[in-house]
């Protein structure tokens, strides 16, 4: 991919980028990439169709029905194993 020139006209943004670069010892380009990368991660995730999500939900329901013991009267917290402080014992 050829290089791209990006012009940032917001003075506050420029000052923040330069400040962060100076504090971290990174280049301005590295600081900008770090700032842009996290918001892009969700965009890159594969989007599933409604049919795929429904099929996955049905699979979970079938698994739960096959593994759930209706005689088990424990609460969800008791099953997971949390104590009264919200920790595992």
**CA-to-CA distance for 58 and 46, rounded, in angstroms?**
20
Number of C-beta neighbours around residue 46 at 10 A: 5
29-33, 37-41, 63-67: the lowest-pLDDT one = 37-41
Span 44-72, pLDDT tens digits: 567 788 998 999 999 989 888 888 788 88
Residue extents of the structural domains in the chain:
11-44
Residue 58: the pLDDT is 94
Length of the chain as a residue count: 89
Give the global pTM. Answer: 0.42
Query: Who contacts 27 (Cβ-Cβ below 8 Å, separation ≥6)?
Result: 21
């Amino acid at each position: 991919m050829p290089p791209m020139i990006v012009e940032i006209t917001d003075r506050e943004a420029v000052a923040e980028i330069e400040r962060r670069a100076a504090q971290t010892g990174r280049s301005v380009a590295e600081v900008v990439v770090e700032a842009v990368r996290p918001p892009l991660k969700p965009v890159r995730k594969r989007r599933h169709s409604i049919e795929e999500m429904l099929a996955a939900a049905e699979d979970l329901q079938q698994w739960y029905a096959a593994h759930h013991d209706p005689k088990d009267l424990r609460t969800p917290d008791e099953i997971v194993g949390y104590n009264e402080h919200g920790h595992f014992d």
